[in-house]
């Protein structure tokens, strides 16, 4: 079963072959000319060079060791994916899957720039459980993120509800129960010490007189309740104060180059991502009407290198500066997204909204 997990695109200019190592299983679905055409009426072909297994020509009776070593070796192979001519054929639908870590070379034979579009895909069979520890850890992380899968009900959730003021953050781990357990253990430890101390000397009333033997247990119980009451009052006051601060503090919206707007929902505590870093991301992408068009919420996080043109310009600008563990809302205008050359099913110059989380810097 092949499931699309992220958009992918690549620009191939004439005279500049693009050597590309596939970071994750990739399906290429569309090849098109750009908005600006250098040669009107001139044909441009897209050439693909890849390594294919070398067929074996040895007979059953031949046992030559050199022939055995040559079997299965890869050799460069060339093919033409399509040929485009302005005003006649300006785009071609293809269905090509490249596997992870495969090295290929794309080359535009002609004078016009060619754009490739596709999706990173997951080819894991339906119902298959990964044995890899990395996959196991990612699945555990998903329980903490609280994001529904691509085939779940998340497409019905409005973009503003993700990580909003009145909603539990979609990527945030819930630790309230653990905090209460720890506080209870600390309280019990303090009470145990206090009780041991009281066993070594006689209890006294507030007026300084010794407490009668029959009243000793009642006095101990009363004394034990005082720290609990004080702790409860402090906790309620802290929650009230924190609640007032949250209402007053709203995430600041900043506008970056190209009109990209960012809104930090959570500041990470890890290293800060910068241009040239290879990062791994979780994300949910939607149009301004709330309709979801893409997401990466399970399996491998989406990897890319900042500032290398591997993603839309809005991501290069908007993800830079995030810290590991941080969560951010990106509002990307059309020219910084797909502009006039969107993938199939997406309108031209569409403004896109993304909720992103920086998982790691590799």
| pLDDT value of position 84 | 87
The residue annotated as part of the active site, out of 28, 159, 306, 312, is 312
Domain with CATH 2.60.120.340 in the chain: 3-53+68-128
Whether 312 sits among the annotated catalytic residues: the reply is yes
Helices (H), the chain: 65-70, 133-145, 176-199, 216-248, 313-319
Query: How sure is the predictor about 189, in pLDDT bands with cuts at 50, 70 and 90?
Result: low
Q: What is the pLDDT of residues 133-146, one digit of tens each?
A: 444 444 444 443 33
d(CA 186, CA 290): 46
Max mean pLDDT range (31-45, 67-81, 254-268): 254-268
Identify the active-site residue in 162, 294, 306, 316: 294
Q: Is the per-residue pLDDT at 109 higher than 50?
A: yes
Of 303, 293, 276, 274, the C-alpha closest to 355 is 293
Between 137 and 184, residue with greater pLDDT? 184
Angstrom distances, CA of residue 23 to CA of 19, 102, 259, 300, 303 = 13, 8, 29, 11, 7
pLDDT of residue 349: 92
Q: CA–CA separation, 120 vs 345, rounded Å?
A: 17
Q: Which pLDDT score is estimated for 134?
A: 45
Q: Which listed residue (106, 145, 171, 354) is catalytic?
A: 354
Does the active-site annotation cover 294? yes
Q: What is the mean pLDDT of residues 63-73?
A: 50
3-state secondary structure at position 112: coil
pLDDT score recorded for residue 174 = 41
Sorted by sequence, the CB contacts under 8 Å of residue 239 that are 6+ apart come out as none
What does the pLDDT read at residue 361?
95
> For 232-263, what is each residue's pLDDT tens digit?
777 777 766 666 554 556 779 999 999 999 99
What does the angle CA 242 – CA 330 – CA 7 come to, to the nearest 5 degrees? 135
Query: What is the pLDDT, as a whole number, of residue 130?
Result: 46
Among 270, 279, 343, 341, which residue's Cα sits nearest to residue 306?
279
* Residue 115: per-residue pLDDT: 92
pLDDT the model gives residue 268: 94
What is the distance between the alpha carbons of residues 61 and 83, in angstroms, rounded to a whole number? Answer: 45
> Using CA atoms, how far apart are residues 224 and 230, in angstroms rounded to an integer?
11
% of the chain beyond a pLDDT of 90: 37
CATH topology for 3-53+68-128 is: Jelly Rolls (2.60.120)
Span 162-178, pLDDT tens digits = 444 444 445 544 445 55
Q: Do residues 320 and 351 make contact, with C-beta atoms less than 8 angstroms apart?
A: no
Per-residue confidence (pLDDT) for residue 161, from 0 to 100:
43
d(C-alpha 60, C-alpha 153), whole Å: 57
Which residue is catalytic, options 115, 145, 171, 338?
338
3-state helix, strand, coil in the chain (%, to 5): 25, 30, 40
| Catalytic residue flag (residue 115) | no
Residue that wins the pLDDT comparison between 106 and 227:
106
Backbone angles phi, psi at 305, to 5 degrees: -105, 125
Output the pLDDT for position 325: 95
Residues β-bridged to residue 51: 76
List, in order, residues 6 or more apart from 278 with CB less than 8 Å away: 303, 304, 305, 306, 361, 362
pLDDT range class, residue 121, cuts 50, 70, 90? confident
pLDDT one-digit tens code per residue, 333-358: 999 999 999 998 899 999 999 999 99
Q: Which helix (H) or strand (E) holds 46?
A: strand 44-53
> Which residues in the chain are classed under CATH 3.10.50.40?
156-165+251-361
Active-site residue (options: 135, 287, 293, 361):
293
Query: The tokens 């839309």 sit on which residue?
Result: 312
| Interatomic CA distance for residues 116 and 310, integer angstroms | 12
| pLDDT at position 57 | 53
- 248 Cβ contact partners less than 8 Å away, ≥ 6 residues apart: none
Which one is predicted more confidently, 81 or 179?
81
> Is position 135 annotated as part of the catalytic site?
no
For residue 39, the model assigns a pLDDT of 83
Higher pLDDT, 140 or 326: 326
- The pLDDT of residue 6 is 86
Residue 129 has pLDDT above 60, yes or no: no
Phi-psi region of 317 (alpha: psi -120 to 50; beta: other; left: phi over 0): alpha
For the entire predicted model, the pTM comes to 0.37
Q: Does residue 45 carry a pLDDT above 60?
A: yes
Considering only the C-alpha atoms of the chain, give the largest distance between any 2 of them, rounded to a whole number of Å: 109
Q: Are strands 44-53 and 74-84 parallel, antiparallel or unpaired?
A: antiparallel
Q: Which CATH class is domain 156-165+251-361?
A: alpha beta
Catalytic residue among 283, 302, 304, 306: 283
pLDDT at 196: 54
**Per-residue pLDDT, 49:** 92
């Amino acid at each position: 079963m092949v499931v699309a997990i992220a958009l992918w695109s690549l620009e191939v200019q004439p005279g500049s072959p693009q050597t590309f190592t596939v970071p994750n299983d990739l399906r290429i679905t569309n090849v098109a000319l750009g908005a600006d055409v250098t040669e009107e009426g001139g044909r441009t072909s897209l050439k693909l060079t890849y390594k294919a297994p070398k067929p074996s020509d040895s007979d059953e009776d031949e046992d030559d060791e050199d022939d055995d070593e040559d079997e299965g070796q890869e050799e460069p192979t060339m093919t033409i994916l399509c040929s485009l001519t302005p005003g006649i054929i300006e785009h071609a639908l293809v269905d090509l899957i490249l596997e992870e870590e495969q090295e290929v070379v794309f080359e535009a034979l002609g004078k016009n720039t060619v754009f490739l579009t596709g999706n990173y895909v997951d080819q894991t069979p339906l119902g298959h459980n990964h044995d890899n520890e990395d996959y196991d850890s990612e699945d555990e992380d998903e329980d903490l993120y609280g994001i529904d899968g691509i085939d779940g009900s998340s497409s019905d959730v409005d973009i503003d509800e993700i990580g909003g003021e009145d909603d539990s953050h979609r990527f945030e781990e819930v630790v309230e129960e653990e905090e209460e357990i720890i506080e209870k253990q600390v309280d019990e430890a303090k009470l145990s010490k206090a009780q041991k101390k009281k066993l070594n000397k006689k209890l006294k009333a507030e007026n300084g007189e010794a407490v009668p033997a029959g009243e000793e247990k009642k006095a101990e119980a009363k004394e034990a309740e005082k720290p609990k009451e004080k702790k409860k009052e402090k906790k309620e006051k802290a929650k009230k104060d924190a609640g007032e601060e949250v209402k007053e503090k709203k995430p600041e919206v900043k506008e970056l180059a190209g009109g990209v707007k960012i809104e930090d929902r959570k500041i990470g505590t890890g290293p800060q991502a910068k241009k040239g870093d290879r990062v791994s991301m979780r994300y949910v992408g939607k149009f301004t009407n709330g309709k979801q068009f893409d997401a990466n919420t399970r399996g491998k996080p989406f990897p890319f290198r900042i500032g290398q043109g591997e993603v839309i310009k809005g991501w290069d600008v908007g993800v830079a500066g995030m810290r590991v563990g941080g969560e951010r809302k990106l509002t990307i205008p059309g020219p910084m997204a797909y502009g006039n050359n969107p993938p199939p099913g997406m309108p031209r110059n569409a403004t896109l909204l993304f909720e992103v989380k920086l998982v790691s810097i590799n």
